[in-house]
Chains A and B, each alone.
Chain A
Amino acid sequence: MMHNAQSLVDALRAPDTVLALDGAGWTDLISIARAESLIGSLAHRLADIEVPVQVEPILKDAIQATDLARQQAIWEADSARRALAPLNCKTVLMKGTAYVAANLDAGIGRSIGDLDIMVARDQLPAVEELLLDAGWEWVKPDPYDDQYYRDHMHELPPLIHRERDRMIDVHHTTLPLTAAPTPNASAMLNAAVKLDSDLYVMAPADMLLHSIAHLFADGDLAGGLRNLWDIDRLVRQFAEQEEDFWTKLGTRAKLHQLERHLKRALRMAARLYGTPVCEGRAGKAKFADFLYVRRLLARDGWGRENRKFTRQAFYIRSHWLRMPPLMLTRHLWTKWRKG
């Protein structure tokens, strides 16, 4: 029985490592990959490896499932584009949908859940109205939560489409307003790149930094292996395509106040996925890196999250990152009273 997710990381980094697995080892790997939402990416990575006949159909299923997810994500993005067309504002796709819409390596085999888009903050009321007209509805009718989103978050409360049952998150920036770094949202919007579909995706450096902010400056690193795999794919592709990528990346990281996060992300990606990174951007290893690795690999061969203490510590950290202490106390008090 595997005690951490190292086998998944190994298989993604160096596909031929799977040749050493026996039947039970494969079953562990598959459970881990499914739990980390990386089964589609893994299946594509193993395309040239001769896998056991018992495993072949499992990987084929995963490829077909993510092919369909890709098609649905693009359809969903187009539905949003049609709903928002009267506004004539830039609609920037984010995360998984952006990767597949821009045909990036990070989109290959990726699982995609919600549609994430970003628009200018002053357009939010108009966007909200058009989406409600086009069949999206609020998910959380709770007034405290609703007000909390509007006052402190980087996105509208989530909306769900009443016929297609798909969620949309409408962002106006990339991190909660209460978080310490304040990325420059208008610079991100200005630099966004137009696709043939008239939708936009972020420029390469911004796209990578958003992925990094999402993993290292927000949330508790749950499902972080997939997010870090996105980071690996984006770095490899952008560094190869753009000669001055590392310079641009440094400039943008400074602009968005994400230099520290960028360094840690690059160190983690290099350490787990062997990502080729520019040393000047990654900085020197820190003691805490070890804790991040421990947290990212906290998954056993049954597919269960383990290392409860480490997970709990990162969970507390995630709240700490989002809010100053007094505000956190007020928030938790209100949440507790509401049960």
Chain B
Amino acid sequence: MAQLHHLYLAVGPARFRVASTWRQPLDQLAALYKDYPASQDGYADFTVRLEPEKPWRRYIRPSVHISGDYWLPDAAPLPLNQSLLAAEMGMNLQMALGWRRHLLLHASSVEKDGKALLMTGLSGSGKSTLSAMLAEKGWRFMGDEFALLNPDTGMVHSFPRLISLKNEAIAAMQAIVPDNRFGPLMKDTPKGDIRHIVPPLDSVNKMASTAKPALLLFPRFGYDPALRDMGKSEIFVRLTQASTNYVALGETGFRALTKFVDTVAVKAMDYQSGAQAEELIDGLWSELS
């Protein structure tokens, strides 16, 4: 069998061993994650594997199949020039299917004054872009994919992976983030154009510090700016859908989520621009007791 190259990464509380037939995705990861704490003792919570879909697809129209300790039977392979995306998806897959130490919410999160703002919603809601934008404006970036909720303490743990920007958000962020923090542009992926940015150094250095969840937003891009209240039962059900391991955690997940819904302020937020969103968020944040 083909030899695999590999690399260890530590992000927040999780450690990954990423193994790949090709050097390319590992070199890209090594460059983009260079300021993350070194993880060289060989331990890992998860192994991600990037291998050709069929042996001959290593060289001929190379296609990257994503698997690892946890895998999905129908995962579509990606072309080699999107192998960085494959590596990131592979790590997400391990977390989504295998992580049990926290309740995972498919949400972005940023922190200020020890308190966390979470934003959740479907792809296209802008949660990733908003977190990236706020991270450039005084907030500490905690993650754009998963918010990790500790079931015992109720605190949010940081999981600051690369920020994944899609389509129009790429140009918008190029205006405020220096070039050297951008990864390669990957065009025409299954999710459109994708380009990663490295989170601000400060958020990487502080990735071990937790925050108390204070505000949860359900952003919706493209509508007149507005804030709406939501019923607790609706919030609860939408969060069960936004959690990848709510069912897998059983009663622990239920307890963590009900406590979260009971204690955190929640709003649905419509907006048409980053500036509008920022204004609405600043207003809400100053009202928090």
Instruction: List residues of A whose CB falls within 8 A of some B CB.
Output: 22-27, 30-31, 34-35, 52, 54-55, 57-58, 61, 64-65, 68, 71, 300, 302-304, 306, 308
Contact = CB atoms under 8 A, between A and B. Distances in A.
A299 B56 CA distance: 21
Interface of B: 1, 4, 15, 17, 19, 41-45, 47, 49, 51, 68-70, 98, 100-101, 248-250, 252
A212 B195 CA distance: 52
A22 B44 CA distance: 12
Given A34-B70, A65-B100, A303-B47, A27 B17 contact: yes
B164 to A, nearest CB: 26
B4 A22 contact: no
B232 to A, nearest CB: 24
Given A65-B248, A68-B250, A302-B4, A27 B101 contact: no
A64 B100 contact: yes
B15 A31 contact: no
A22 B101 contact: no
A71 B47 contact: no
Given A30-B69, A68-B248, A22 B49 contact: no
B49 A304 contact: yes
Contacts of A308: 1
B42 A22 contact: yes
B249 to A, nearest CB: 8
Given A27-B43, A31-B47, A304 B1 contact: yes
Nearest to A307: B1
26 contacts: A22-B42, A23-B41, A24-B42, A27-B42, A27-B44, A27-B47, A31-B47, A34-B69, A52-B43, A54-B43, A57-B45, A58-B45, A64-B100, A64-B252, A65-B100, A65-B248, A68-B248, A68-B250, A300-B1, A302-B4, A302-B47, A302-B49, A303-B69, A304-B49, A306-B1, A308-B1
Given A61-B101, A303-B47, A54 B15 contact: yes
Contacts of A71: 250
A303 B250 contact: no
Contacts of A25: 42
Nearest to A24: B42
Nearest to B6: A302
A61 B42 CA distance: 20
Given A31-B69, A306-B1, 20 more contacts: A23-B43, A25-B42, A26-B42, A26-B43, A27-B17, A30-B47, A52-B43, A54-B41, A57-B45, A61-B100, A61-B101, A64-B100, A65-B100, A68-B248, A68-B249, A68-B250, A302-B19, A303-B69, A304-B1, A304-B49
A114 to B, nearest CB: 15
A35 to B, nearest CB: 7
A31 B68 CA distance: 8
A306 B55 CA distance: 13
Q: What 10 A-B pairs come out closest when comparing CB atoms?
A: A23-B42, A24-B42, A54-B43, A61-B100, A23-B43, A23-B41, A34-B69, A68-B250, A31-B47, A27-B44
